[in-house]
Each structure stands twice: as structure tokens, then as C-alpha cells.
Structure 1
């Protein structure tokens, strides 16, 4: 084994351990904010594995999309919602835990059997790798797959507009707010009220 192969093997072991430990932390942590941060660590470790496979574009896309967008969105959703509920013990909690352990153990055994029984012969691939793959992906995006690429951007734009519409607070007249809605009313005033108040002064 050469020095480069040894460094690659040690890096692979460290990144794999990081993925497994971060994934266990996501599942076992009682704090949901810590779980979200550990999920970001798992995504970054997976991006490192992609770099070891010489798939730099997939690694950067992993960091930009999953860590920079999805994980940050999860954190914002957790911190903005901030829903607090009293702890209530669930009925048949031991049964749920037992089923969870059974399903996870079965999946682990199935994946382990697949890893052991699969011949992992390393064969050179004729396709482009490294920076050449990025150029080929860019050419395909703007030639063969231009329509799906543009449709994906329109879909993301629609999702952003929908999020803005859902997050926007509409002002309601005070005489229509009754009951439980009155307790949830925020101490805000509409723009018209602010303008009329400034005009009176």
C-alpha cells in the first residue's frame, strides 16, 4: 500500500465514522436543534466521500443544496415555529421502540448482506471525471436537458412565491377578530393606520 492509498483509506474511515455518528446523533438527540446541526455534519461528511470518488461537482452540489439550503431551511423552520408542548407519555411506547429497533436492525442486516455479497471489483470507467465532468454536465444542462432545467428553476420560483404568500400577515379589522383569534393577534398596525396616524400629527 502506497502513501496515497493509506491517506485515502484513513480519510474514508474518518468520513464514514462521521456520517454514522452524525446520523446516530440526529436520531438519538433529544434536542431538535442539535439534530439539525448534526444532520448538516452528516451532509458534509457525505460530500467528503464524493470528493474521494473524484466527483467534485456532486460534492459541491451536496454542500450548496443540502447543507446551504435544506439544512438551513430546517433550522429556520425549527427556530421560527418554536412550538412548545408539555411532555405527555405515549401509550404503548415500549411497543413503538421495539418495532423501531426491529425495523432498523432488519435494514442494517439487509444492507450488510448486500455489502458482503456484492463483488466490489474496481474497474476503470471510460467516462470523464474531475473537472471534465463539470464541463460535460454544463453542456448537457444547456443543450439536451435545457427544458427540465428551466422547469426546475420555475418550480423553485413558484415555491419561493408560495412561501412568501404563506408567511405574509394579513391585517384584519378589529371588530372581526373574536374568541381565540383575539388572543393570537399581534401588536401590529397596518400601513394605512400608520399613514393616517402620521397625517393627523
Structure 2
């Protein structure tokens, strides 16, 4: 699928903003569900990256498999856990070492890419013609045709299974939340109830006198 230059630039800007923002959200949010949604944003931006490279099939597979299946499975697993909200952690010595290692892994490939002479990595005329012919062909129509004709039953069954799994996960999460709330509710002891009732009776008697 050939896209115009303006659409390429717009999608690339979305990728530049989405991947770093989503990655920071995954490691920064204390709510695990929010982190799972941020990981879905990162995977979606990666599929957009494949799209601007004219790899339609890989982009569709990225959305269907990673965003539509694996990320949804992560959300279900998080909803079934007992504790979805963590505590704020303060920086330690180990976190500083991890930050330095991540910065090194980011800076090193960046320097290699900037210092590489990419002009030598060119294709011959025959290879460039083959690439142009492949770029003109789109696999999205073929994928949609296969899903709605040959694999229609499997596609519909998969959607029903995902719907049932989502409803079940929400139901189980709500039941566990109500159980925790019921356990947290403190009932006053009988002695305190007796004292409160006797105090009320004394106040009523004093009003009459």
C-alpha cells in the first residue's frame, strides 16, 4: 500500500510520540491495568511503523496477534490478580544501574546508525524493480477476504470466546472486590453496641426529667 508523503510524516510523528510515551507509561504507572494499556499503545505504534514501510501483512499480524490477543490476555491476567495498584517506589542504587544500562543500550545503536554510511547499502536495478512491484501489491484485501470467507466460522468463534472471557474476567474481578470490601468492613463489638444503647436511654430519661 503506497501512502502519500504527508501521511507518512503524520504516522511517523505519531510513532515518535507514541512509543516513548507508552514505554514510559508502562514503567511509571502504579496501576498495572494502565501499564497494560500503555503496552497496547506501544504495540499499536509498532504496527504503524510496519505500515509506513509498506508491510501490510506484518502490520495486520501485529494488530491481530499482539494487540488483539496478547495484550488483551495481559489485561485479563491483571484483572484476575488480587493487587492491581502498587506503591510508589523511591530510586535506589539498583534502579540507577538499570537506568544507566538502558541509556547505554539506547545511545549505542543511535551512534552506530548515525556513523554508518548508508549510501553503500543500495540495491541493484533488478532488486529495486522487484521491491517496487511488491510494494504496489497489498495484502490487506486478501487477509480480509480470507477472514470473511474461508475462515469466517473460526473468526466469529474467536470473537465470541474473547467476549465471554472479557465478561468472565470483569465478573470475577467485581466479586473479588466486593469480598475484599466486605472483609474490610468492621462491625462494632456487642459491648460497644450495648453501651451506645444505654447512653441513648440515659439521654432520653434526662429529657423527661
* Structure 1 length-normalised TM: 0.56
Q: Pick one of 87, 93, 96 that aligns with 1:95.
A: 93
Aligned-pair CA distance for 1:108:
1.3
For residues 119-134 of structure 1, what are the structure 2 equivalents within 5 Å? 119-121=117-119, 123=123, 124=128, 126-127=130-131, 128-129=134-135, 131=137
Secondary structure, aligned partner of 2:117: coil
- Are the counterparts in 2 of residues 23 and 38 from structure 1 also a CA contact under 8 Å? yes
Which residue does the alignment assign to 1:106? Answer: 104
User: Which has a greater percent of helix?
Assistant: 2
Higher relative CO (CA 8 A, sep ≥ 6), structure 1 or 2? 2
Distance 1:97-1:56 versus aligned 2 partners, 3 A rule:
same
Aligned-pair CA distance for 1:45:
1.1
Distance 1:86-1:70 versus aligned 2 partners, 3 A rule:
closer
Distance 1:82-1:42 versus aligned 2 partners, 3 A rule:
same
| Whole-angstrom distance in 1 between the partners of 2:85 and 2:13 | 40
- Are the counterparts in 1 of residues 25 and 38 from structure 2 also a CA contact under 8 Å? yes
| Whole-angstrom distance in 2 between the partners of 1:105 and 1:120 | 24
- Are the counterparts in 2 of residues 43 and 66 from structure 1 also a CA contact under 8 Å? yes
RMSD: 3.3
Which residue does the alignment assign to 1:152? Answer: none
Unaligned runs of 5+ in 2: 144-209
Aligned-pair CA distance for 1:11:
2.4
| Whole-angstrom distance in 2 between the partners of 1:101 and 1:125 | 45
Unaligned runs of 5+ in 1: 138-201
| Whole-angstrom distance in 2 between the partners of 1:104 and 1:20 | 13
Aligned-pair CA distance for 1:42:
0.9
Distance 1:42-1:85 versus aligned 2 partners, 3 A rule:
closer
